[in-house]
Amino acid sequence: MARTLPAVLPFLLALTGLTASAADFATSLYPALEAAGCRGCHSADGVASTTRLRFPENNASPAQLAAFGRSLVTLVDTKNPGASLLFRKPTARLPHAGGERIHPGSPEEAALRDWVAELALLTPAEAARAAQIADTDPVTKAPTVAIRRLTNTQYNNTVRDLLGDRSQPASLFPPEDFVNGFRNQYQSQSLSPILMDAYGNAAEKLARAAFRNGLPPSLVPCAPSPACRARFIRSFGLNAFRRPLEPNEIARYEALFANQPTFTAGAQIVVEAMLQSPHFLFRLESPRQPKWKPYATAARLSYALWDTMPDAALLAAAAQGELNTPEGIDKSVRRLLQDPKARQALDEFTAEWLRFDRALTATKDRSRFREFTPETLYAMTQETRHFISDLVWNDRNFMDLYTANYGFMNGDLAKLYGAPPPATDYERVDFPPNSERAGLLGQALFLSLTSKPDETSPTARGLFVREQLLCQHVPDPPPGVNTNLPEVTEDKPKTNRDRISEHTTNETCARCHSLIDPIGFGFEKFDAIGQRREKLELVFRTGEGESRRASGQKLQIDLDTTGKVTGIPDSAFTSPQQLGAILAKNEICQECVVKQYFRFVAGRMETAADRPLLRRVTDDFRRSNFRFRELIMSMMRARETAAAL
């Protein structure tokens, strides 16, 4: 039975001229919600992604928008529409982490009120059907990635394994940008004229170096002859292109070879040409020809797990059809994971995910942080690298990433942590009992790379936790906003918490800062290089040079290190140790590990179509008691199953 009009009449009467006809959600309220920036938080990767309000993809069809509009009935109180979360939250009549998004009395509020009233009139059966979309992924197809260019790291690794060349020519290529948190995302893999020139120069140098001392047996495994020429082209081409060459390709390279005066010169020009071919520089992800699919599988596996080309055994498995079955893929994945190259590839994932690049280019005020040297900075990255490697390859619970009471220190780090020095560098050492450190969040790398040169940055620390560890995107600040904090003076000494509190007085700033700053406040016991401190020490100096240092006046201020993670229940904390315990048990954080690895191996962001795959891999990860190697196995199996469809 339809809901009677009197039940919602007081709410309806608040709108002047309201008609009984249904509001057009797609042209009235939806644009208002978009303009208000609601998608920024209520999207698949937004900080409010776990709430019942989640926007559809940007390219949603009119039918999907209409279904989304009706699914909002889950946020409507049909007995008292005016008390609905859908109405009261965006207008800030109820506490809302995003602040006021729709101003009371505005035309946008009228559209919102209209739609809430419309949803309140749905019958229980209609409401139940409409609500189903909130728990159902839309039927969409994952983006098709046909080809992916070798990254600079993959280029270096590939010429190392193809030619035995360790000169790392890609270190001279244009640097790659981070997109979606990684440097291997296919959207950023266009070819610039500068990069094309670099490929040409590198190919010439690599080919010349390969044949500098004659014909290397590793490349030319036969005596120079016309028969050997064709054999060389086929064998080198198989490795360079990660698939057998077509007959017309063999003929073209034979003709190029034959135009050279000697066998060595012919082999060299063929290598130089192949290294500039798109078939070498790019790798097939979705080949059109069925006969090349096993080889595309081999390349996907090797570049995901080794960050380099397939070896002879993997190419043989492709040729023999072993990669056409889940059992064959599992067998190959387990073999690949036993190779040292798998550890190097995982190190690359770790370095990109946790943004070692930011740490390695960080600078600190040497007058305040004399312990911060290039050697100490390198040790910080090595500690995290050893720490994650230990979790993965010794099959530990990977969520110990946040709770482990130990680090992998050298003497400099042990001194910084107040721990006993290890017998050898990067040996496992327990954190001091009262340090309140734990896992990644207690390590100097995280605490340093999220700080400024002369002080901590609660905002940067909170943002890192949101984006890298919870996979939640925080919208960029509006253009023109002043991000500088008030200056600290002797007559007005302030902690960072006091200075940042001014963000909350500006409604535009508060919308995002309320989501990130409270996280960062919980790390304020640790300074800009990760040293423990009980109070904030402010130094005010006058004069120049030595006299300036000698005249420093120190002032110590108590620190309030209470923090919280808005959106996670019972998430109050005062230290990295406490936050680590919260994150380790949190499902969003657990799934984020899976998402980050997916982004790295797939070379793109996840979409709605990938949610079943991510759920399946996350479930496998949990069932394995968070063994990362099992995550890898599940991810490879799931991706190849999807690729075969």
Amino acid at 284: L
Q: What is the crossing angle of helices 62-71 and 124-131, to 10°?
A: 120
Mean pLDDT of 631-636: 97
Let me know the angle formed at the C-alpha of 214 by 208 and 217, rounded to the nearest 5 degrees.
Answer: 105
Sign of the alpha-carbon dihedral angle for 373, 377, 378, 380: positive
230: CB partners within 8 A, 6+ apart: 250, 254
The answer for 268, left when phi > 0, alpha when psi is -120 to 50, beta otherwise, is alpha
Judge contact between 528 and 451, C-beta under 8 A: yes
Select the more confidently predicted residue: 6 or 189: 189
The alpha carbon of 245 is separated from its chain's Cα centroid by a whole number of angstroms, namely 36
Domain contains 156: yes
- Helix H segments across 184-277? 193-210, 226-241, 247-258, 263-275
Do 428 and 557 fall within a single domain? yes
Q: What is the pLDDT of residue 308?
A: 98
CA pair distance 446, 462, nearest whole angstrom: 11
Q: Domain count of the chain?
A: 3
Quick: pLDDT tens for 422-441.
999 999 999 999 999 999 99
Domain contains 612: no
> Is residue 598 classed exposed, middle or buried when 0-12, 13-18 and 19+ CB atoms within 10 A define those classes?
buried
Q: What is the pLDDT of residue 121?
A: 86
Do 575 and 499 fall within a single domain? yes
Domain contains 466: yes
Q: What is the pLDDT of residue 22?
A: 42
- Helix H segments across 340-485? 340-353, 356-360, 374-393, 411-417, 444-449, 458-464
Do 234 and 383 fall within a single domain? no
**Two tokens at 142?**
């994952």
Do 167 and 110 fall within a single domain? no
Give the least confident one: 24-28, 403-407, 497-501: 497-501
Of 135, 160, 181, the one marking the end of a domain is 135
Of 244, 267, 286, the one marking the end of a domain is 286
Element (H, E) at 555: strand 553-558
Domain contains 617: no
Tally of CA atoms within 13 A in the half-sphere of 558 that contains its CB: 2
Which domain does 406 fall in, by range? 354-478+489-585
Mean pLDDT of 588-594: 97
The answer for 16, left when phi > 0, alpha when psi is -120 to 50, beta otherwise, is beta
Mean pLDDT of 372-397: 96
Do 48 and 157 fall within a single domain? no
Mean pLDDT of the chain: 88
Domain contains 533: yes
Q: Is the pLDDT of residue 34 over 80?
A: yes
Judge contact between 405 and 399, C-beta under 8 A: no
Do 106 and 218 fall within a single domain? no
Of 271, 286, 301, the one marking the end of a domain is 286
Domain contains 317: no
Do 90 and 128 fall within a single domain? yes
Judge contact between 78 and 87, C-beta under 8 A: no
Q: What is the pLDDT of residue 1?
A: 40
CA neighbor of 530 nearest in space, from 435, 420, 406, 427: 435
CA neighbor of 68 nearest in space, from 58, 55, 77, 87: 55
Domain contains 446: yes
pTM: 0.88
Do 382 and 521 fall within a single domain? yes
CA neighbor of 631 nearest in space, from 587, 596, 582: 596
Quick: pLDDT tens for 258-277.
999 999 999 999 999 999 99
Do 205 and 75 fall within a single domain? no
Domain contains 90: yes
Quick: pLDDT tens for 290-311.
899 999 999 999 999 999 999 9
CA pair distance 597, 240, nearest whole angstrom: 27
Do 407 and 468 fall within a single domain? yes
Give the least confident one: 156-165, 503-512, 533-542: 503-512
Do 102 and 15 fall within a single domain? yes
Select the more confidently predicted residue: 545 or 249: 249
Do 164 and 34 fall within a single domain? no
